Protein backbone atom coordinates (compact mmCIF):
# COMPACT_ATOMS: atom_id res chain seq x y z
CA UNK A 1 0.00 0.00 0.00
CA UNK A 2 1.08 3.53 -0.75
CA UNK A 3 0.04 6.61 1.22
CA UNK A 4 -2.48 8.85 -0.56
CA UNK A 5 -3.94 12.32 0.09
CA UNK A 6 -0.82 13.45 2.01
CA UNK A 7 -0.96 16.89 3.61
CA UNK A 8 1.22 18.84 6.01
CA UNK A 9 0.59 22.08 7.85
CA UNK A 10 2.09 24.01 10.74
CA UNK A 11 0.05 25.78 13.40
CA UNK A 12 0.30 27.00 16.98
CA UNK A 13 -1.29 24.86 19.66
CA UNK A 14 -1.23 25.71 23.38
CA UNK A 15 1.55 28.21 22.66
CA UNK A 16 3.76 25.69 20.81
CA UNK A 17 4.49 25.34 17.09
CA UNK A 18 3.05 22.02 15.89
CA UNK A 19 3.30 20.26 12.52
CA UNK A 20 0.31 18.10 11.58
CA UNK A 21 0.84 15.45 8.91
CA UNK A 22 -2.08 13.40 7.60
CA UNK A 23 -2.43 10.76 4.91
CA UNK A 24 -4.66 7.92 3.79
CA UNK A 25 -3.41 4.35 3.95
CA UNK A 26 -5.91 1.83 2.65
CA UNK A 27 -9.34 2.84 3.95
CA UNK A 28 -8.04 4.64 7.05
CA UNK A 29 -6.69 8.15 7.53
CA UNK A 30 -3.69 8.59 9.82
CA UNK A 31 -2.50 11.81 11.44
CA UNK A 32 0.55 12.72 13.50
CA UNK A 33 1.47 15.85 15.40
CA UNK A 34 5.07 16.77 16.21
CA UNK A 35 6.89 19.76 17.62
CA UNK A 36 8.51 21.47 14.68
CA UNK A 37 12.05 22.08 15.92
CA UNK A 38 13.33 18.61 16.81
CA UNK A 39 10.37 16.83 15.19
CA UNK A 40 9.51 14.74 18.26
CA UNK A 41 6.18 12.96 17.98
CA UNK A 42 3.49 14.34 20.30
CA UNK A 43 0.43 12.33 19.24
CA UNK A 44 -0.93 9.94 16.62
CA UNK A 45 -4.49 9.17 15.60
CA UNK A 46 -6.58 7.32 13.04
CA UNK A 47 -10.00 7.99 11.62
CA UNK A 48 -12.47 7.17 8.89
CA UNK A 49 -12.04 10.67 7.44
CA UNK A 50 -9.14 13.10 7.26
CA UNK A 51 -11.00 15.59 9.45
CA UNK A 52 -11.73 12.96 12.10
CA UNK A 53 -8.09 11.87 12.29
CA UNK A 54 -6.81 15.46 12.45
CA UNK A 55 -9.35 16.51 15.11
CA UNK A 56 -8.38 13.53 17.24
CA UNK A 57 -4.63 14.12 16.94
CA UNK A 58 -5.03 17.85 17.69
CA UNK A 59 -7.11 17.10 20.80
CA UNK A 60 -4.48 14.64 22.09
CA UNK A 61 -1.62 17.04 21.30
CA UNK A 62 -3.37 20.01 22.96
CA UNK A 63 -3.96 17.97 26.11
CA UNK A 64 -0.33 16.89 26.28
CA UNK A 65 1.12 20.31 25.46
CA UNK A 66 -1.13 22.03 28.03
CA UNK A 67 0.56 20.01 30.78
CA UNK A 68 4.10 20.67 29.51
CA UNK A 69 6.13 22.65 31.98
CA UNK A 70 7.83 25.79 30.64
CA UNK A 71 10.99 26.89 32.42
CA UNK A 72 11.89 30.54 31.88
CA UNK A 73 15.50 31.17 30.86
CA UNK A 74 17.27 34.16 32.39
CA UNK A 75 19.90 35.79 30.23
Q: Which domain holds residue 47?
A: 4-66
Q: Is residue 33 situated within a structural domain?
A: yes
Q: Is residue 41 situated within a structural domain?
A: yes
pTM: 0.85
Radius of gyration of the chain from Cα atoms? 14
Q: Is residue 60 situated within a structural domain?
A: yes
Q: Is residue 13 situated within a structural domain?
A: yes
Q: Is residue 53 situated within a structural domain?
A: yes
Helix (H, G, I), strand (E, B) or coil at 54: helix
Q: Please choose, from the candidates 16, 23, 21, the residue with its C-alpha nearest in 3D space to the C-alpha of residue 62.
A: 16
Count how many domains the chain has: 1
Integer Cα distance of 75 and 73 in angstroms: 6
Q: Is residue 56 situated within a structural domain?
A: yes
Q: Which residues contact 44 (CB under 8 A, 6 or more apart)?
A: 30, 31, 32, 33, 57, 60
Over its length of 75 residues, how does the chain's per-residue pLDDT go in tens digits?
Answer: 898 999 999 999 988 899 999 999 999 999 999 998 887 999 999 999 999 999 999 999 999 998 887 788 886
Q: Is residue 72 situated within a structural domain?
A: no
Amino acid sequence: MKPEDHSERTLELAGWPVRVISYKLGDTYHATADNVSPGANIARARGATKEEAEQSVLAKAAERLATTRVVPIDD
